[in-house]
Amino acid sequence: MNLDRKTKLVVLHAHHSNIDYTETALKSTNVEQIHHVDPGLIDAIKNKSTQQIEKRVKTQLEWLASAKPDAILITCTNYSLYIKESEINDIPILKIDDLFFRSLIDFPAATLCFTNPATVEGTINRLKQQPNVKADFQVEIIDHAFELLMSNKQDAYSEVIIDYIENNPPQGFIVFTQLSMHQAATHLKNKGFSVISPVDALKELEI
Judge if 7-96 and 99-202 fold alike in CATH terms. yes
202 residue type, one letter? L
The band of 2, judged by pLDDT with boundaries at 50, 70 and 90, is very low
Q: Which residues contact 163 (CB under 8 A, 6 or more apart)?
A: none
Query: For 8-61, what is each residue's pLDDT tens digit?
Result: 999 999 888 889 989 988 887 889 999 999 888 777 877 888 899 889 899 999
**For the domain with range 99-202, which CATH number is right: 3.90.1690, 3.40.50, 3.30.160, 2.30.29?**
3.40.50
Average pLDDT over the chain, rounded to an integer? 88
Beta strand 136-141 with 173-176: parallel, antiparallel or unpaired?
unpaired
Length of the chain: 207
Q: pTM to 2 decimals?
A: 0.84
